[in-house]
Chain A
Amino acid sequence: MAILETKDLTKAFGALTAVNGVSLAVEAGTLHSIIGPNGAGKTTLFNLLTGTFPPSSGRILLDGRDITGTPASRAAHLGLARSYQRTSVFPAFSLLDNVWVAAFATGLSWSGLAWRKTERYAEVTARARQALADVGLAGRAGVPAREISHGEQRQLELAIALAAAPRVLLLDEPAAGLSPEETRKMVALVRSLKGRYTIVLIEHKMDIIMSVSDRISVMHFGSLIAEGTPGEIQKNPEVRRAYLGGVAA
């Protein structure tokens, strides 16, 4: 059954229709990739799904429930967590505090919000440490985020999303700007998360997409032009023309 669904989702910024009538169904437990050339509307779609701004028309369903228009701060509580294409962390915080603040948001209870000391929330801290361990940053917990390498920041970016204990993980180009070696590690990381979460992945690097995806949707000028398994997408002539071009030919 589809856990996350969009029905005829459209977002227009003035004359530009960034997302145009997108109907997408993400099956629970799968890794569903969204590909498309730059400016195809992939990140705008993520912004709509996580409530950064409301759609112009269309609906978003989570577990069949209409969540259209949910503000961004509620999306995490519904179980939608995202990572950003451009690293977006809390620079002055230690890595642990970065994930801690995300883990607390979706924690069991906010009691003692303004009074209890942060170190007394053992359950939150445990989840935060687990999220750091999941991305391989357990040994760097005390280091300020502004002092780590770009590759580590990409891992942290992912850890903040994981710390929310989401049901659906929306990853926006997790390997953006990484070296080939770092990219290999990131791919292994994303693969290790498969099955534990339903993942929606935006990615540019075709080798990553083809090796990890269960299903692929292709966006072009704001619209979905194809959907299928990696094998089907590779053979689809329209996709080749729009996106793969000379690369896969």
Chain B
Amino acid sequence: MKRPIVLLLAAVVLLPLLVRPAIATEIWIFAIFGLGLNLLLGYTGMLSFGQSTFFGSAAYVAGWLLKHYAINVFLALGIGMGVGAASAALVGYLCVQRSGLYFIMLTFALNQLFFFTAYQWTSVTGGEDGMPGIPRPALAGIDFSNPLVYYCFVAALFLAALWIMRRIVESPLGRILQAIRENPVRAEAVGYDVPRFKLLAFVIGGAFSGLAGVLYAMLFGIVPLEAIGFVFSGNVLFATLIGGSGSLYGPVIGSFVFIWLSESVSTLWARWPLLLGVAFVMVVLFLRGGVVEAWTRFWTWRSSKPKT
């Protein structure tokens, strides 16, 4: 467990030297978003195609409060997590009784409901134009409008989020959620109220999504309508699957690959999502565990070779 932490810390330090601070920041924000999804997808076995509901709702509410009431940054983050958790509780409550395709379609449909609400409610959300003018208020003399300062802030929050998620998945709750993924009928029979635990996973995942949403709004100073749209839900799903949904670090690596590709390749070639599509197909066909699995396979292959 030590090595990934060291690699991660190195990445946190080196990333702003390699790419623009805004992109580096976005990578960690997206990673927080992915951590929340992966509790549902990788650990509980629920494919949610509506994660941007929680991300976007939190971004709008906290963004609005930041803009009109100039609230404290931490209060904004707290409110965002609360909104993320509450919207996830609502969506989760309606979804956890279903499974398979119906579950996926329901998360998607509810996402669309939130999307069109934001789309129509132009007086608050700005509709298609988004909600601009979201400030990054200074806190205790720390000026977050400096991109590098904001990067450090987000990176620290990401590390905290990762640590918290690690504690959760290594706790009894993490094991119960995995038991539900492995065999929901038996999990129920040994004494767990499966829908309630699924709902709990939704709420925790929603809080992580909400945190990411607020950080995103403050990063770009705007909540674009896409932040609550299905493409965003799909992106985080793509990133998590490419990184590897079977492990804690999968979504982090996936976010890195996804954001880095989208920012660097998109300037060279407008049809870059094509590449992403190919990568996705490869993962689904040959590498269910994503980049993390490729990595472990490579190391087992290397260590199995006789030394010469």
Residues of chain A having any CB pair with chain B under 8 Å: 50, 52, 71-77, 81-82, 84, 88-93, 97, 100-102, 104-106, 110, 112-118, 121, 160, 163-164
The answer to whether the Cβ of B5 comes within 8 Å of any Cβ in the partner chain is no
Contacts of B183 in A (CB 8 A): 88-91
* A73 to B193 CA separation, bound complex (whole angstroms): 5
* A191 to B34 CA separation, bound complex (whole angstroms): 51
Q: Is A117 in contact with B190, judged by CB distance below 8 angstroms?
A: no
Q: Is A164 in contact with B178, judged by CB distance below 8 angstroms?
A: no
The answer to whether the Cβ of B168 comes within 8 Å of any Cβ in the partner chain is yes
Given that A73-B194, A114-B171 are contacting pairs, would A88 and B185 also be in contact in the complex, using a CB cutoff of 8 Å?
yes
Contacts of A52 in B (CB 8 A): 189
With contacts A106-B190, A117-B167, A160-B190 known, what are 15 further pairs, Cβ within 8 A?
A50-B189, A84-B186, A89-B186, A90-B182, A90-B187, A92-B178, A93-B179, A93-B182, A104-B175, A110-B172, A113-B172, A114-B173, A115-B168, A117-B170, A118-B170
Q: How large is the interface on B (under 10, 10 to 19, 20 to 34, 35 or more residues)?
A: 20 to 34
* A81 to B186 CA separation, bound complex (whole angstroms): 11
Contacts of A118 in B (CB 8 A): 170-172, 174-175
Q: Is B171 in contact with A112, judged by CB distance below 8 angstroms?
A: yes
* A92 to B178 CA separation, bound complex (whole angstroms): 9
B248 to A: closest C-beta gap in Å: 14
A18 to B: closest C-beta gap in Å: 18
Contacts of A88 in B (CB 8 A): 183, 185-186, 189
Q: Is A113 in contact with B191, judged by CB distance below 8 angstroms?
A: no
12 contacts between A and B (CB under 8 A): A73-B189, A90-B183, A91-B182, A102-B190, A104-B176, A105-B192, A114-B171, A116-B172, A117-B170, A118-B172, A118-B175, A164-B190
Contacts of A84 in B (CB 8 A): 186
* A228 to B182 CA separation, bound complex (whole angstroms): 40
The answer to whether the Cβ of B188 comes within 8 Å of any Cβ in the partner chain is yes
Q: Is A105 in contact with B191, judged by CB distance below 8 angstroms?
A: yes
Main secondary structure on B side of the interface with A: helix
Q: Is A101 in contact with B187, judged by CB distance below 8 angstroms?
A: yes
* A75 to B193 CA separation, bound complex (whole angstroms): 11
Residues of chain B having any CB pair with chain A under 8 Å: 167-168, 170-176, 178-179, 182-183, 185-194, 204
Q: Is B171 in contact with A113, judged by CB distance below 8 angstroms?
A: yes
Q: Is B191 in contact with A73, judged by CB distance below 8 angstroms?
A: yes
**Nearest-CB residue, chain A, relative to B196:** A73
Task: Please indicate which of the listed interface residues A73, A77, A100, A110 has the most CB atoms of chain B within 10 Å of its own CB.
Answer: A73
**Nearest-CB residue, chain A, relative to B181:** A92
Question: B182 contacts which of A50, A92, A100, A121 (Cβ < 8 Å)?
Answer: A92
Q: Is A117 in contact with B171, judged by CB distance below 8 angstroms?
A: yes
* A112 to B176 CA separation, bound complex (whole angstroms): 13
* A80 to B176 CA separation, bound complex (whole angstroms): 19
Contacts of A92 in B (CB 8 A): 178, 182
Contacts of A75 in B (CB 8 A): 189, 191
B86 to A: closest C-beta gap in Å: 18
**Nearest-CB residue, chain B, relative to A82:** B189
**Nearest-CB residue, chain B, relative to A93:** B182
Question: B191 contacts which of A90, A114, A121, A164 (Cβ < 8 Å)?
Answer: A164
A234 to B: closest C-beta gap in Å: 33
**Nearest-CB residue, chain B, relative to A76:** B191
Q: Is A76 in contact with B189, judged by CB distance below 8 angstroms?
A: yes
* A50 to B178 CA separation, bound complex (whole angstroms): 23
Contacts of B176 in A (CB 8 A): 101, 104
* A52 to B183 CA separation, bound complex (whole angstroms): 15
Given that A88-B183, A89-B183 are contacting pairs, would A76 and B175 also be in contact in the complex, using a CB cutoff of 8 Å?
no
* A234 to B6 CA separation, bound complex (whole angstroms): 70
Q: Is B171 in contact with A101, judged by CB distance below 8 angstroms?
A: no
Contacts of B191 in A (CB 8 A): 73-77, 102, 105-106, 164
B197 to A: closest C-beta gap in Å: 9
A92 to B: closest C-beta gap in Å: 6
A43 to B: closest C-beta gap in Å: 13
Q: Is A104 in contact with B172, judged by CB distance below 8 angstroms?
A: yes
Q: Is A72 in contact with B171, judged by CB distance below 8 angstroms?
A: no
A12 to B: closest C-beta gap in Å: 22
Given that A110-B172, A115-B167, A115-B171 are contacting pairs, would A105 and B186 also be in contact in the complex, using a CB cutoff of 8 Å?
no
